[in-house]
Amino acid sequence: MTKKEIIDSIAYCGLICKLCFKADECAGCKSAKNNCGKHLSESGCCQRKCCIDKNINGCWECEAFPCNKDMYSDSHDGKIKAFAMCIKEDGIEQFVDYVLENSRRGLDVRMNKDYDFKSEKEVLQLLRAGKGHGNP
């Protein structure tokens, strides 16, 4: 999988659809073949709808980011918001470089793996640890 394929698969919220456990059956939230559970839920995906309404590529481009809505609410772990925050602060290519470097070190971005159940600060530190980035 190429870096460009990963970048192209980054969801509006910041998750990496190409690295999702559902990647074989879902082409990501920006595609017509969107089988994301959040998108298919009765309420739909707040982040996706908002980004489409604002005609932006992702929450990291929004003036109101970080909001406290849906997947960015305090009831979720910090992974999703931290991914979008990293993209906003460091750029999408650098974010993918962090993920790929950490993957080579054995870290997994998929659900219930290394980045889940951590605070935003912990996720940002984990992302940036392999590249010698300063403290977030």
CA distances from 65 to 55, 95, 105 (A): 15, 17, 30
Q: Please report whether residue 136 resides in a domain.
A: no
pLDDT of residue 134: 44
Kindly report the pTM of this predicted structure. 0.87
Q: Please report whether residue 43 resides in a domain.
A: yes
pLDDT of residue 131: 63
Residues 82, 120 contacting (CB under 8 angstroms): yes
pLDDT of residue 125: 93
Q: Please report whether residue 79 resides in a domain.
A: yes
What H or E segment, with its residue span, contains residue 132?
A: none
Gap between the Cα atoms of 95 and 85, Å rounded: 10
Q: Please report whether residue 107 resides in a domain.
A: yes
Residues 66, 84 contacting (CB under 8 angstroms): yes
User: Which of 14, 1, 11 shows the shortest CA–CA distance to 72?
Assistant: 14
pLDDT of residue 135: 41
Residues 125, 135 contacting (CB under 8 angstroms): yes
Find the domain containing 115 and state its range.
3-131
Gap between the Cα atoms of 128 and 85, Å rounded: 12
Per-residue pLDDT of the chain (136 residues; tens, 9 = 90+): 789 999 999 999 999 988 888 888 888 889 888 878 777 778 888 899 999 999 999 999 999 998 989 888 888 878 999 999 999 999 999 999 999 999 999 999 888 888 887 889 999 999 998 664 444 4
Domain count, the chain: 1
What H or E segment, with its residue span, contains residue 53?
A: helix 46-54
